[in-house]
Every structure is written in C-alpha cells, then in structure tokens.
Amino acid sequence: MCVKHDKLLELFCKTDQVCVCMLCSVSEHKTHDVVPLKEGYEGKKAELGKTDAEIQQMIQKRRLKIQEMNRSVEVSKEGVDRGIADGVQVITALAASVYGSQVNIINTILEKQRETEEQAEGFIKELEQEISELKKRSSEVEQLSRSEDQLHLLQSFTSLNAAPPTKNWTEVRVRPPSYEGTVVRVLTQLEETLSKQMKKLLAKVELKRVQQHEVEVTLDPDTAHPNLILSDDGKQVKHGDVKKNLPNNPERFNPCSNVLAKQSFSSGRFYYEVQVEGKTDWYLGVTRESINRKGEIIVTPQNGYWTIWLRYYNEYIANDWRQHGLSLKSQPEKVGVFVDYEEGLVSFYDVDAAALIYSFTDCCFKEKLYPFFCPSRNFNGDNSAPLIISPLNHTKWDNNLI
C-alpha cells in the first residue's frame, strides 16, 4: 500500500465517525493504529468464510428438519391407514352383531307367526273333522226319520239321538302373538353382546397401540445368576441344576436367580413380549439401574422393581407394597410388558386374550430402566420350561381382531 493511502486511512479512522471503512475491524477508531489494507481485506474474507459456514450449517439443519417433518408425515400416514383399518374392523364387527340381532328379530317373529298358523291349522283340522262327523250323524238321523220300520226306529233312536263326541270350542281362540316383547328381549341381548364386544375390541385396539412400541430385548449374561442357562441368541433363560463358576461381578445377581436385559431405557415408551407357557413360577417386569443385586431382594416399587409373579401354578400376584392378588380369567401363555417412562406407567398384558393383567401407575422414574426376568427354580423339572423373549405376531391381530 502507498504512504499516501495509509495516511488517508489513518486520518479517516481517527475522526469522530462511529462507522468507518469496511477494512477496519475495531469499533473504536480514534486511537488504534492504521490497519494495513491487505490485512483488513484478508480478515474480512475470513469472517465472510466463517459467516458462510454458519449459513451452510443453518441450511443443513433446516434440511434435516424438513426430512424429519416429511418422516413425521409418513409415520402419520401409516398411523392413519392403521387407524382406519382398525376402525373399519371394529365397526364391521359391531355391525355384524347388529345385523345378527336384526336377523334374530325377523326370524323370531316369523317363527311365532308360523307357530300361530300351525296352531290355527290344527284347530281347523279338528273342527272340520267334527263337522264331518256331525254331517254323518245328520245323514243317519235323516235316513232314520224316513224309515217306516218302527222297531228299527226304536232300536236306533237312543244311539242316534245323542250327539257325537266333540270339543267345547267356546273358549278356544287363536290369538295373534305379541312381538313387542320379542324386540325388547333381542335388543337387551344385543346390548349385552355389544357391551362385551366393545370391551374386547377396545382391549385389542389398546394392545395393538402399545405393540407399536416394540423394542429389541436380549438377555445380559453378565447379570445372570450362575444357575441360569441363557440361549446363544440371548432370547431364552431357564434355571439349571448346575451352578456355573462365574465371576461375582457387581452386575451379577446372587443368590437370586434373576437376569436383566442388555438394553436400558430412560425415556419414551417401549414394549416386549415373553412366552411363559409351561411354567409354574416366574417373575417379569422392569427394574431401575441402581437396584441391589446381592443378598436378599424384596421386589417392590420402593426397591426399584415393578413386576408381576406367578407362583403355585395359577396364583398371580402384582408385587406392589402389599403383594396384590390378581384374578385372571385365563392363564397367560404370553405376557406383554409396556412402559411409558414419562407417564410413570408399567402395564402387563395377556397377549392371546388381549387382556390387561395389571398396571403400576404414577411411578416416578429417574434412572435407566432394564427389562427384568426370573424363571424361578427348576423344582425337579416342574418348572424347567424357559422364559422366551418372543417377536410380535402382527398377522394374528390383523386377521383376527374380533
């Protein structure tokens, strides 16, 4: 840069102007040294490069946000299709019940009419038979009255004088049936049927809703009691008779025959299913990360366990503070476990019956949660069946909602 230009820049920068030349990067220009033109230019170029990088980053963030929104729309469309399909199946099932009741009313009324007609036909047949008998007697009487044989007349008079045996038809009526009672009875039955179906359908729809939050769950061998036998794929666990020689690391349960999943969850919702068929004793649920894994364990929410328990073949218990006994209509062969972390909810479902078994509500989760499994002891083979983490059978529900 020439001296003349340096002097001009220096004079300009030392004036009282607030905003000076674009080459200056110092806001206070009264006392700072002259900024060489080349250095100011390169500094501004660097700033422009930095600004452009920030703009590009902002553009990228917005592109990612667009992708996220498009994905949300796609998920929403999938939910719409699924919701419509479920709704159509539910309404179709209820409509089938209503149509069945309509057919029932029609058939019942027609059956009553048929019975009335058959009753009338029976009476008419009897009356016609009596008329025929009476006509026959009338003919005999007429013939006898024209007879000139007095002896025959006297001999036949007594028998012909009496009327033939007939029914007293004075009180006999064919009464048209009343259909009002039929309609009320069928509608009452329909109401009961729809109420039961609604409960079943709502339960199945609810189960389908939570099943959308299915997650991958595999067993963690580092947490398994030494007597437990885990499958190679980490999907099955059962109690063995031989205690393996394993390191007693802090994560491992001992002496309780428990095991946790490898996966943990600290937000959102998750769901998985466990096959319990053939077992006489088991625990299932979730636990917080900081649970005690050594010594005696009391499985209650206060101690970080939200579980249900089968014991003595058919006694089901929710392990809350008072061990709440459960009354189930059928014995579950597959149990679904659903957790909503933010809502503080842990629910258990009988998958095949699409029935809610029990829910822990108003839970306060502050730590990671782990799926928890206890196949319980073998009991000389009576409880040797494994607990099996099973994939969901979506087809079953899609084709058999009712």
Helix (H) and strand (E) counts in the chain: 5, 13
Pure H helices in 146-179: 150-161
Residue, of 218 and 192, whose pLDDT is higher: 218
DSSP SS3 for 146? coil
Instruction: Specify the range with the lowest mean pLDDT, choosing from 126-140, 278-292, 324-338.
Output: 126-140
Angle between helices 37-145 and 180-211 (to 10 degrees): 160
**How many whole angstroms separate alpha carbon 231 and alpha carbon 388?**
9
Residue 221 pLDDT class (50, 70, 90 cuts): very high
Q: Give mean pLDDT, residues 38-50.
A: 74
Q: Give mean pLDDT, residues 353-380.
A: 94
Buried b (16+ CB within 10 A) or exposed e, 297-315: bebebeebbbbbbbeeeee
Q: What is the pLDDT of residue 41?
A: 64
**Is pTM, for the whole model, over 0.85?**
no
Q: Give mean pLDDT, residues 42-64.
A: 87
Side-chain half-sphere CA neighbours of 375 within 13 A:
32
Q: What is the pLDDT of residue 153?
A: 66
**How many whole angstroms separate alpha carbon 57 and alpha carbon 351?**
48
Residue 1 pLDDT class (50, 70, 90 cuts): very low
Domains of the chain: 122-211 (no CATH), 221-395 (2.60.120.920)
How does pLDDT run across 304-358, given as a tens digit for each residue? 999 999 999 999 999 998 888 999 989 999 999 999 999 999 999 999 999 999 9
pLDDT above 70 (res 14): no
Q: What is the pLDDT of residue 254?
A: 92
How does pLDDT run across 227-271, given as a tens digit for each residue? 999 999 999 999 998 889 999 999 999 999 999 999 999 999 999
Rounded to 5 degrees, φ, ψ at 100 are -60, -40
Residue, of 228 and 30, whose pLDDT is higher: 228
pLDDT above 70 (res 29): no
Q: Which of 3-12, 14-23, 151-160, 188-197 has the highest mean pLDDT?
A: 188-197
Percent of the chain scoring above 70 in pLDDT: 84
Residue 28 pLDDT class (50, 70, 90 cuts): low
Residue 285 pLDDT class (50, 70, 90 cuts): very high
Q: What is the pLDDT of residue 18?
A: 47
Residue 37 pLDDT class (50, 70, 90 cuts): low
